Amino acid sequence: MSHQELDSLRTNVDELNLEILRLINERAAVVQEIGKVKEKQGVNRYDPLRERHMLNLIKENNAGPLPQSTVDHIFKELFKTALELQEDDHRKALLVSRKKKAEDTIVVVNGERIGEGKPSFVFGPCAVESFDQVAAVADAIQQKGLRMIRGGAYKPRTSPYDFQGLGLEGLKILKRVSQQYNLAVVSEIVTPHHLEEALDYIDVVQIGARNMQNFELLKAAGSINKPVLLKRGMAATIDEFINAAEYIISQGNDQIILCERGIRTYEKATRNTLDISAVPILKQETHLPVFVDVTHSTGRRDLLLPTAKAAIAIGADGVMAEVHPDPAVALSDAAQQMNLQQFDEFYDSLQKFMKQYEIQV
């Protein structure tokens, strides 16, 4: 074969490559349109029957020389890419997505600007048990110059026979303590019926892991004018978590803090498995601040400090942990809450760690 002949064949291949490129991009554009139509209709993006139908038609028309298995492979790759494109467009459309809004959302709570670079901290007892119990923790929090306290008044417990929380009485205790110590209150609400009443007592509405897909509660939280701390469901994918946040923002409330709190896996060494990589993924995919709850993810007091360090090191906007004046007699989560001395040590070590690595303190 002469050089000339080879060159001419290669020119031919170059032209065909460009033609194929034009065609696959044209196909991709049409498939994107299909994606939009499906989105509107609420239809599943993946359609195996349609894919089978297309492969059959292609097979009938395949005159070779490519073997059918190769042709199938190429087209299946195209279908896969089409799905990814549709999915990407769907993400772009989400109001919580970074693609929709590039800048970080800053959530302001009691003067604290959450999500602006300086890590925030939310400490407090698992459940509100008495004024004195909450006040003792509030005092320790205030001494550290922190501005928020957590405490559960409505407790969604695994067993109906376990302590269910003090309800409204608990919210009233939180309010009194918060006024006395100038702290904002973060507390979980479990049903839309309680929401309106709770707004008089709390500053940040927490939606817990068990309610991450309680869509009525999410919608109700989306209609209020207060920040919402949304925890990841214990068996929720990151995608489902993001969509739960979308339920809130879609109703007009964009003051949302996401909170990774561990997911259920086969691992038994910890209560849940802390999905630490969820933090940078959520920060990339959404514009919302991301917290890590080190208490519920580990269920182990000895792991609170290392996981809090990991959370801050990986870019979390805040850390949440439980503190109780006397964990041994706590009505819930006795094994995992810190006492006041452990709290001091934990916080001091974390501050040292942040200074050492020049993280804003």
- Which chain residues interact with ligand PRE by CB under 6 A? 31, 34, 45-47, 50-51, 79, 82-83
**Minimum CB distance to ligand PRE smaller for 45 or for 210:** 45
In angstroms, rounded to a whole number, what is the distance separating the alpha carbons of residues 117 and 107? 12
Q: What is the C-alpha radius of gyration for the chain, rounded to an integer number of angstroms? A: 26
Q: Which is nearer to ligand PRE, 83 or 340 (CB)?
A: 83
**155 close to 129: Cβ distance less than 8 angstroms:** no
| Nearest distance in Å: CB 261, ligand PRE | 34
Residue 158: φ, ψ to 5°: -60, -40
* Secondary structure E strands in the chain: 107-109, 112-114, 120-124, 148-150, 184-188, 204-207, 228-231, 256-260, 290-293, 318-322
Tokens of 127: 């459940």
Nearer to ligand PRE, 24 or 168 (CB): 24
DSSP 8-state symbol, 301: G
- CB of residue 55 to ligand PRE, shortest distance in Å: 10
Nearer to ligand PRE among residue 51 and residue 116 (C-beta): 51
Amino acid letter for position 64: G
When CB distances to ligand PRE are compared, the closest residue is: 82
Peptide bond before residue 325 is cis, with ω within 30 degrees of 0? no
* Nearest distance, CB of residue 39 and ligand PRE, angstroms: 10
Strands 184-188 and 204-207: parallel
Q: How far is the CB of 130 from ligand PRE (least distance, A)?
A: 58
Contact between residue 298 and residue 274 where contact means Cβ atoms under 8 Å apart: yes
Residue number with CB closer to ligand PRE (82 or 263):
82
Which of 98, 121, 97 has the alpha carbon at shortest distance from 109? 121
Question: Around Cβ 316, how many Cβ atoms within 10 Å?
Answer: 27
| Residue 222: both structure tokens together | 């989306």
Burial of 300 (0-12, 13-18, 19+ CB in 10 A): middle
Q: Rounded distance, CA 143 to CA 158, Å?
A: 34
Nearer residue to ligand PRE within complex by CB, 79 or 131: 79
Residue 106 CB, shortest distance to ligand PRE, in Å, is 38
CB of 49 to ligand PRE, least distance (A): 9
CB atoms within 10 A of CB 85: 16
| Shorter beta-carbon distance to ligand PRE: residue 10 or 50 | 50
- Residue 17 CB, shortest distance to ligand PRE, in Å, is 21
User: Whole-number minimum distance, CB 112 to ligand PRE, in Å?
Assistant: 45
What is the token pair recorded at 72?
A: 């199938």
Question: Amino acid identity of 159?
Answer: S
Task: Please report how close the Cβ of residue 90 comes to ligand PRE at its closest, in angstroms.
Answer: 12
Cβ distance to ligand PRE smaller for residue 31 or 149: 31
